[in-house]
Amino acid sequence: MKQPQMIPYPLIRTNQWFIIISVALAWTTGVYAWLLPPLMAGLCGLLFGVNPVMRLARQFLRKPLSEYTAEDRIQQQFNQCIAVICLAIGLAAYAAHWTIIAYFLRP
């Protein structure tokens, strides 16, 4: 199956909010495991081409995909790569009790 070259902006926005909420939960609760879901979803998107958060959000779109403002798939993958790297470094920093690094390298 050929993947679309454009991704509807509401799906991108949902993914961004998922990351932001997870990071905020990790900060406020001190439970760094909150960083795992967006990290795993981002890795799935980069490695397998399917982001579970976007796939779930797609079910809630009311209009056909072509009617939404879209972003280039390659640009989104680049942005997702940056987010995954920051989440991975943040998670590793929390696990090593280097919280100052975890706070500075947030996505």
- Given a cut of 60, whether residue 1 has pLDDT beyond it is no
Residue-wise pLDDT tens digits, 27-74:
899 888 999 999 999 999 999 999 999 999 999 999 998 899 999 999
Nearest CA to 7 among 43, 45, 35, 40? Answer: 45
Q: What sign does the dihedral 14-20-25-26 (CA atoms) show?
A: positive
Residue-wise pLDDT tens digits, 78-105:
999 999 999 998 898 888 887 676 666 5
| Prediction pTM value | 0.84
* Angle, CA of 67, 70 and 71, to the nearest 5°: 170
Nearest CA to 107 among 18, 10, 9, 12? Answer: 18
Distance, CA of 70 to CA of 9 (rounded, Å)? 5
Segment 14-37 shows an average pLDDT of: 93
At residue 2 the predicted structure's pLDDT band, cuts being 50, 70 and 90, is: low
Residue with tokens 């090593």: 96
Helix/strand/coil for 45: helix
**Phi and psi dihedrals of 11, rounded to 5?**
-70, -40
pLDDT at 107: 54
